[in-house]
Amino acid sequence: MTLFERIIERQIPADIVYEDDEVLAFRDTSPQSPVHVLIIPKRCIPRLGDAADTDQALLGKLLLTAQTVARQLGVINSGFRVVINHGPDAGETVPHLHVHLLAGRPLAWPPG
């Protein structure tokens, strides 16, 4: 069971900012910006490269949830970034697809 599955099951506490039947959004415990929220599907897909055509609606739901959370947290107008890491070279640390929503300060480009 991944760390995120344990959060979904409430075995590990999290600062949840949004939840519905398909997704959960919570504050990152090692934030990289003043607003740093992780948005995860409740059904485990290990990483973006493992998603299938049948996951299309859920993948769209993750991005629309990022929009909802950005609005809820008051950063929809100032700007926000969404990031999906795939694999160790990209910084992936939990094998459960997740979207990082970063905001609350100017974000440099290129990242990283």
Task: State the catalytic residues.
Answer: 98
Burial class (CB in 10 A: 0-12, 13-18, 19+), 87: exposed
Q: 90: how many CB neighbours lie within 10 A of its CB?
A: 12
Residue 60 phi/psi, 5° resolution?
-65, -40
C-beta separation of 45 from 5 below 8 A: no
Whole-angstrom distance, CA of residue 102 vs CA of residue 36: 5
Helix (H) or strand (E) holding 38: strand 35-41
